[in-house]
Structure 1
Amino acid sequence: MEKLIFFFSLLLLILSPVLVSGDCTCDTEENKGVNSKHEALMYKIGAIASILLGGAVGVCIPVLGKRFPALRPENDIFFMVKAFAAGVILSTGFIHILPDAFEQLTSPCLNQSLWGDFPFAGFVAMVSAIGTLMIDTFATSYFRRSYFNKAKPVNSDEENGEVHVHTHATHGHSHGSSAIVAGGGESEVIRHRVISQVLELGIVVHSIIIGISLGASVSPNVIKPLFTALTFHQFFEGMGLGGCITQARFKSRAVVVMALFFSLTTPVGIAIGIGITNVYDENSPTALIVEGVLDSAAAGILIYMSLVDLLAADFMTPRIQGNLRLQIGAHISLLLGAGCMSVLAKWA
């Protein structure tokens, strides 16, 4: 799954400069002159550093729960943080990405007889959510079968009508693998691993798009508000992803790779945008279609993941259902996360 995520994202990074080219008769952003472009470049460089730091800190907070007992998955505070982050991700899908997709795919720059008579953004988001469900189901089933095949009995003896089963434990595994316990614990870990990887895929798709859009802009007035808004955006999304990574109990190397991959995606997108500034036309039909379809797909993934794999999976557990105080706190945290991210939509 990690290889699939890496390949898909690398392919997007390679193809993005090509896909966004095209002709369009709509008005484009006015040329503000050399000084304005230089000022915009300075903001872009600052945005790369700020967003990189914000994303890295956000994704590392839950991961560092191993060192800070209050942030460990078994503690109530972790549930509160995860609910907040899930609200952020849900708001990102509904408030930030999906409206942009509708705007892009209904733009007057596109052939209205083809794109204006059908809600393609909603359709792609729906198909994306269904596709995520299918991947979620098949991947979980596949890894679960693989795990049980590896852990199947290596020796069995029948004595006096009793079956004695001996299994082997593989030494040298990470803390995460050794922490998998019987009674369904291994299935829960496998589930969290699939969730974290699919969630990262959805976040990465959106991060590439917003990074390229910011990097290709030549207007300081557009970049200034995005500077701070996207930093908080990445910080909150990182918290949600970091919580899933923590519960997945990956090996340390996999945790580092996933955290770095998330942290670097938007800055790399900004760098690509800077490189294609002179040839990028955000109002070209090709750019609008590619961005609109990818935004719709990302929205479907994030909405499904936040509602099904993050919120429902936690809120319906006996632990929260049996603790009214924790239940109320988790709902308040969810509303705060969704509310804070919704407010950022004013600038990003």
Structure 2
Amino acid sequence: MAKLQLLLLTLFCVFLLLPSSAFGDCTCDTEDEGRDKTQALKYKLAAIASILVAGAIGVCIPILGKTIPALRPEKDIFFIIKAFAAGVILSTGFIHVLPDAFESLTSPCLSASPWQDFPFTGFVAMVSAIGTLMVDAFATSYYRKSHSNQAAQNGVGDVEMEGEHEGHLHVHTHATHGSNSFVDNSASSDLIRHRVISQVLELGIVVHSVIIGISLGASESPKTIRPLVAALTFHQFFEGMGLGGCISQAKFQNRAVVVMATFFSLTTPVGIAIGIGISSGYDENSPNALILEGIFNAASAGILIYMALVDLLAADFMNPRVQSNARLQIGVNVSLLLGAGLMSLLAKWA
């Protein structure tokens, strides 16, 4: 699991370095109308503060299930909160990130060949979703086998110990151990699954959060930034709830929980800070910038759509507890529609 966390951190560092390659020759003129660097900087600083706080609160709400019984994963309200957050993440992929990717990769600022000859946005999103499936499957398989081997070794040790010290109880204890082992392995498999889901989901969220932050930080138009501050604050809060729910179910150690929550909370503010730093030389209409933003937005959309549909919604909606409770089933459906609807509405401003 530590290797997967290191991979996420490495990819994040790469994303931070990529904007430097967006400096280049501009083929499309950028409008100077409405630019006010001083006023724009005030809005950017307000955005850093509000988005940081909103993201931290959002990701911590589900995690507080340890201290607030109503928010624990075994409670019905947890399924409703997760359905709402999954709707937000699904809407983020389809309504916010994917259209931005289409806009970037079909921009008239790019050469007609090859960018106008092939639907690169859909292709990258598809490859990203398939890649997420593969990573999801291989990571789960690897950790499950690793745990099974460790459990088998521990089991052999237990049997030998029983044979040495508790010979007359060997048969009885062995049967009980087998029963408990089956339950433990099932619970352990679910735990491994939740851990893989939470880390892959965080990767998808981090990619587009950094891009959004850089775009906002590089803008010098108060008219553009003003509505984005409120919209992105809500956006980060709701996404945080979805990620926090996955982290809560993964039952990481406290240190890992703090690292993941902090990592998520800081991505957009750090992106804004980077955008502020490069705003003097960053041209959002340059071919390099458009291609980078378009490809990474499309990849992020593929990850988010896959995670929302397969790992969040399908897993919970097909859960026997939800299937056997009509009231809860209605609740999660309404919550899903509400989350997707509200996040879609934010597209009017962001």
**TM more than 0.5:** yes
| Residue type of the alignment partner of 1:254 | A
State the secondary structure of the residue aligned to 1:29.
coil
How far off is 1:164 after superposition?
A: 6.0
In structure 2, the partner of 1:201 is: 203
Letter in 1 for 2:203: L
Q: Which residue of 2 aligns with 1:174?
A: none
Which residue is equivalent to 2:5? 2
TM-score scaled by length of structure 2: 0.92
Amino acid corresponding to residue 269 of structure 1 in structure 2: G
Query: How much identity, in percent, do the aligned residues show?
Result: 69
Q: Which residue is 2:22 aligned to?
A: 20
1:214 Cα deviation from its structure 2 partner:
0.1
Q: Is it true that 1:283 corresponds to 2:285 in the alignment?
A: yes
| Deviation of 1:217 (Å) | 0.1
The residue correspondences of 1:124-203 to structure 2 (distance < 5 A) are 124-152=124-152, 153-155=155-157, 156-157=159-160, 162=171, 182=184, 184-203=186-205
Could you tell me how far apart the structure 2 residues matched to 1:29 and 1:301 are?
33
Q: Which residue of 2 aligns with 1:81?
A: 81
Higher helix share: 2
CA contact (8 A) 2:27 2:287 kept: no
Q: Residue 34 of structure 2 contacts residue 222 of structure 2 at CA under 8 Å; is this kept in 1?
A: no
8 Å contact kept, 1:154–1:166:
no
| Cα distance change on mapping 1:165 and 1:310 into 2, 3 Å | same
CA separation in 2, counterparts of 1:109 and 1:214?
20
Query: What secondary structure sits across from 1:340 in the alignment?
Result: helix
Counterpart amino acid of residue 151 in structure 1: A
Change in Cα spacing, 1:317 to 1:23, as seen in structure 2 (3 Å) is same
> Any conservation in 1 of the 2:206–2:264 contact (CA below 8 Å)?
yes
Q: Distance in 2 between matches of 1:24 and 1:166?
A: 73
Superposition deviation, residue 9 in structure 1: 0.3
What secondary structure is seen at the aligned counterpart in 1 of 2:337? helix
| Deviation of 1:151 (Å) | 1.9
* C-alpha distance in 2 between matches for 1:303 and 1:147: 29
Say which is worse superposed, 330-339 or 19-28, in terms of deviation: 19-28
Q: CA RMSD in A?
A: 2.0
1:2 & 1:184 partners in 2: Cα distance? 24
Between the aligned partners of 2:201 and 2:176, the Cα distance in structure 1 is: 34
1:221 partner amino acid: K
1:59 and 1:242 in contact (8 A); partners too: yes
Contact (CA 8 Å) 1:151, 1:167: kept in 2 or not? no
- Shift in CA distance, 107/186, structure 1 to aligned 2, threshold 3 Å: same
Q: Is the 8 A contact 1:154 1:167 kept in 2?
A: no
d(CA) in 1 for partners of 2:65, 2:173 = 39
| Residue of structure 2 equivalent to 1:173 | none
Partner of 2:61: 61
Q: What is the rounded CA distance, in whole Å, between the counterparts of 2:240 and 2:322 in structure 1? A: 24
Q: 1:215 to 1:181 in 2, by over 3 A?
A: farther
Q: Where in structure 1 are there 5+ consecutive unaligned residues?
A: 169-179
Task: Return the letter of the residue paired with 1:7.
Answer: T
Distance apart, 1:166 and its partner CA: 11
**Do structure 1's residue 336 and structure 2's residue 338 form an aligned pair?**
yes
Decide which moves more: 150-159 or 338-347.
150-159
Output the amino acid matched with 1:184. Answer: S
Q: CA deviation at 1:237?
A: 0.2
Structure 1 runs of 4+ with >3 Å offset: 157-168
What is the letter of the counterpart of residue 41 of structure 1? L
CA deviations over 1:211-248 (Å, ceiling 9, x no partner):
00000000000000000000000000000000000000
Q: Is the 8 A contact 1:90 1:338 kept in 2?
A: yes
